[in-house]
Amino acid sequence: MQGNSAGTPCSRDPLLDVKVRFGQRLRALRTEQNISQEKLGEMAGLHRTFVSMVERGERNVTLATVEKLAKALGRRMADLMPDAP
């Protein structure tokens, strides 16, 4: 473990990893279909900045959001799930 600037130990957030991996998977599927973040947002009923934040691993999505994104991409929800490292 490394310490932060205050000297307090911190560990890597395991949720961060899955959020980043989910975002990478979402971006790959979106770009595969030549869909912009803005268009995907419109198709899924989400704001384009939210889609961008999800792709960067900055937002933790709900199952309802995964379903919206999957439907917009014409995929199964499972297709959006990243493999475990």
> In which domain, by residue range, is 32 found?
14-78
> Which residue reads 């199964």 in tokens?
76
Confidence (pLDDT) at 84: 79
Q: Percent of the chain beyond pLDDT 70?
A: 81
Q: What are phi and psi of 36, to 5 degrees?
A: -75, 160
Structural domain contains residue 1:
no
pLDDT, position 85 = 75
DSSP one-letter code for 81: P
Q: What is the mean pLDDT of residues 25-46?
A: 98
Task: Judge whether 31 lies within some domain.
Answer: yes
> Residue 2 has what DSSP assignment?
E
pLDDT digits (tens, 9 = 90+) for 51-65: 999 999 999 999 999
- pLDDT band for 7, please (50, 70, 90 cuts): very low
Domain count, the chain: 1
First to last CA, the chain: 20
List of residues 6+ apart from 64 with CB closer than 8 A: none
- Answer yes or no: are the C-beta atoms of 68 and 74 closer than 8 Å: no
